[in-house]
Amino acid sequence: MTNTYKGTTDFQHGDASSLGVLLVNLGTPEAPTAGALRPYLRQFLSDPRVIEVPKWKWQIILNLFILTTRPKKSAEAYEAVWTEQGSPLLLTSEKQRDLLQQQLQNRFGSRVHVALGMTYGNPSVASALDELKQKGMRKVLVLPLYPQYSGTTTASVFDAVTKEFQSWRWIPEFRMVMSYHDHPLYIESICRNVRESWEKHGRGQLLVMSFHGIPKRYFSGGDPYHCHCQKTARLVAEHLGIGSDEYMVTFQSLFGKEEWIKPYTDATLKSLPGQGISSIDIMCPGFTGDCLETLEEINQENRGYFTEAGGKTYNYIPCVNANREFIDCLAALCESHMSGWLSEDLAAVDRATAQEFASFQSRTDNAEPKASPECGRSQALRA
């Protein structure tokens, strides 16, 4: 008889258990080619959290128009930022995972394991959760690499995680960080990069903070993303000691023909030289790792818009990537959201569970039980 739900290979009651942290980012294609972009874009653009259009209508548009033309164009853009080691976003995300793993193990020992999953593409959320399960994970913190909450990103992570759990036999206790747009260490991680840039390149007339956009109707429907972006920008400005006339917030990466939240980054950059702004610093605080949207769209394409309009100095400030303050932020989020879990003596619980099950086996003389034995963690804790 086949098992309907996924279990653990060679499971034994009382096996060593651990805590898991699942880092999640958007994703990346396997290669900068049209062939690799097509399945990636299909998965990404088929997510109803991203595209809120009736499925039957959107599938016609997606398959007849978008997937026949966009993969080639997107592949050219990815080719412009691809490295010898691979995707910039994947490489940065892996470094963030490794540094967070190191910091958590330094603080809490080997019982905490960190895995990386992508909402679209590989490594998938499902494979990352399975990796943690094979290490004895019984409780997991889901930590999206999206500081500002949006239904298009954070909620998609929730969907991916819970969809995978629907196929598990033993679903772990789990918590999820929904946003950290105003966390002091996140704000400091952004400001550190700005200060370092100003020290190295000098300061422009205006600091432009460009965030990924969302359709205006999502905002009107209650998505807090725009508000989170504005608060992040305000806190960064306050931390840097600059006035409201010395920075501005814009939104990039429009897709489709409907109205998105404004002002648009590209239109703004085209207009600034005509307003007497010839030198700017520009950064993307909502992206925690440099990727296609920052390296190609902002640092290359939009640089061209600004200089073609008469701009002189265009200084792109990198994302937080794996700077010390951002890793400290992730570690602090783990510590606060895993409160209670980290103080639990997992080894003692595992021993109690094993003893309880051994006692049960002895009492029943190895007979086939009629009901599941009460040998779980909660029973062991009461013993």
CA atoms within 13 A on the CB side of 338: 26
pLDDT given for residue 346 in this prediction? 56
Coil vs helix vs strand at 27: strand
Which pLDDT band holds residue 133 (cuts at 50, 70, 90)? very high
pLDDT digits (tens, 9 = 90+) for 27-85: 999 999 999 999 999 999 999 999 999 999 999 999 999 999 999 999 999 999 999 99
**How far is C-alpha 222 from the geometric centre of its chain's CA atoms?**
21
What digits encode the pLDDT tens for the residues 203-247? 999 999 999 999 999 999 999 999 999 999 999 999 999 999 999
Quote the CA–CA distance of 88 and 321 in Å, as a whole number: 10
- pLDDT value for 381: 40
pLDDT given for residue 243 in this prediction = 98
- A 10 A CB-CB count for 16 gives 14
Q: How confident is the model at residue 15 (pLDDT cuts 50, 70, 90)?
A: low
pLDDT value of position 374 = 43
Query: What predicted TM-score, i.e. pTM, was given to this entire model?
Result: 0.89
Give me the chain's average pLDDT, please: 92
pLDDT at 366 over 90: no
- Residue 112: both structure tokens together: 């905490």
Q: Determine the average pLDDT of the residues in 92-103.
A: 99
Contact 58, 17 (CB under 8 A): no
Contact (Cβ atoms closer than 8 angstroms) between residue 375 and residue 353: yes
Q: What is the DSSP string of 98-151?
A: HHHHHHHHHHH-TTEEEEEEEEEESSBHHHHHHHHHTTTEEEEEEEES-SS--T
Please give the average per-residue pLDDT across 264-288, as a whole number.
99
Mean per-residue pLDDT, 280-303: 99
Quick one: what percent of the chain has pLDDT higher than 70? Answer: 87
Write out pLDDT tens, residues 178-199: 999 999 999 999 999 999 999 9
pLDDT (mean) for 268-295: 99
Polymer length of the chain:
383
CA gap 255, 75 in Å, rounded: 17
| Pairing relationship of beta strands 112-121 and 18-28 according to DSSP bridges | parallel
Report the pLDDT value the prediction gives residue 344, as an integer from 0 to 100: 84
